Amino acid sequence: MRRSFDVVLFGATGFTGQLVAEALLARSGEGLAWALAGRSLQRLAAVRDRIGAPAGLPLIAADATDPAALAELAGRARVVISTVGPYQKHGAAIVTACARAGTDYVDLCGEPAWMAQMIGRLQAPARANGARIVFSCGFDSIPFDLGVVVLQHASRRRFGRPLVQVRGRVQMLRGGLSGGTAASALATFEAAARSPRVARAMADPFALTPGFSGPPQPDGQGAVWDDWAQAWAGPFVMATINTKNVHRTNALRGHPWGRDFVYDERQLTGDGAAGHRRALALAGLTRVQGALLGFAPTRALLRRLALPQPGSGPSAAQRERGGFELRFTGQTADGRRLQATVSGHRDPGYGATSRMVTESALCLLHDIDHHATGGGVWTPGAAMGLPLVRRLEAHAGLRFTVDG
């Protein structure tokens, strides 16, 4: 089927959507045929003007609640980028349209219960129609998912065997919060409060691997001394989604890292008494936040008074000052260890994420043919792996380094 556009960005008028539009514009020198899509042509035109795109850049009016318009949109694109979070509220119709139309799809979703639901619903039609559906193509979970892929690849080359355990550790993280991210987090807590099924999915590290449940995994709570890192560590807020995606990548690849693979994520807080205090404070804050967000009046108050509103987010200067550094350490069954670092400049959730999802779309478009990755619901690590790593290093400011 001939498609009018290589890439259509759906949700271009949101805060993150505009950043993705800027990233696409910067990469459109490749002769990319692309378009902006959203509910309002007027607002889309304002985004087009704001980012300095050509006046002839096509705009497509399509509402997230209009299945017919979304089916038409999906039929015109080779790849759709969706930034219409919270996805559990606004995302089902567009990803379903892509699965039915055989259109590749990438998004920034970090909402595991919704993803588990979509895997069950869309795996069969996506496979039948050749649509490659790839969730979590932003900071959650590309640096973590691909960090493990890179480390495991290096272990195979160096040791001839996989790492049976990997620890992901956040060493440095500087970034802000947008209204869209805040809305997604609140929507997830509300869904978990309403539904035991959602709460179970949030707690299960294998919630995204239907039909497979591996060994017990570290719970990621509390303050612990990490003997590999020689530092204290506390909970990491994004571990809930990242660990699930890492286990799904292993499953989709046929468990090359073993069916007993163990993975966990934490945030390092330093050594000594000061590091211990920071880890305890982080663990305590996590418990308090969880308790408060489980209480409906607190969520309502936060939505009105405390959290950024949808459409708002860190300034350009704040995004440029941001950055991250992640450490991955793995161990083979016979005790040999290997370490890798993943780093990036710019705010991880916005400046870096907008480039990650853009390169993910371009990777599916140009680098990964359907013989290598057929239709289905994928992770970045399983669908694109090392070709995406190379793109991110070349165009998104990320660096993947294996030590030694």
pLDDT at 73 over 50: yes
Residue 329, classed as helix, strand or coil, is strand
Average pLDDT, the chain: 90
Stretch 7-21: mean pLDDT: 96
Radius of gyration of the chain (CA): 20
At 119 the pLDDT is 98
Residue 228, classed as helix, strand or coil, is coil
Model confidence pLDDT, tens digit, residues 160-217? 999 999 999 999 998 765 545 556 666 776 777 678 887 888 899 999 999 999 999 9
Distances from the Cα of 313 to the Cα of 267, 319, 321, 400, angstroms: 24, 9, 14, 27
* The overall pTM is greater than 0.85: yes
At 349 the pLDDT is 76
Model confidence pLDDT, tens digit, residues 208-266? 999 999 999 999 999 999 999 999 999 998 999 999 999 999 999 999 999 999 999 99
At 176 the pLDDT is 65
Which single residue is written with the structure tokens 């663990």? 283
Give the residue from 23, 27, 3 showing the smallest Cα distance to 12. 23
Cβ atoms of 101 and 79 within 8 Å: the answer is no
Which single residue is written with the structure tokens 């710019």? 346
How far is it, in rounded angstroms, from Cα 119 to Cα 141?
17
Model confidence pLDDT, tens digit, residues 335-393? 999 999 999 988 887 889 999 999 999 999 999 999 889 999 999 999 999 999 999 99
Residue 66, classed as helix, strand or coil, is coil
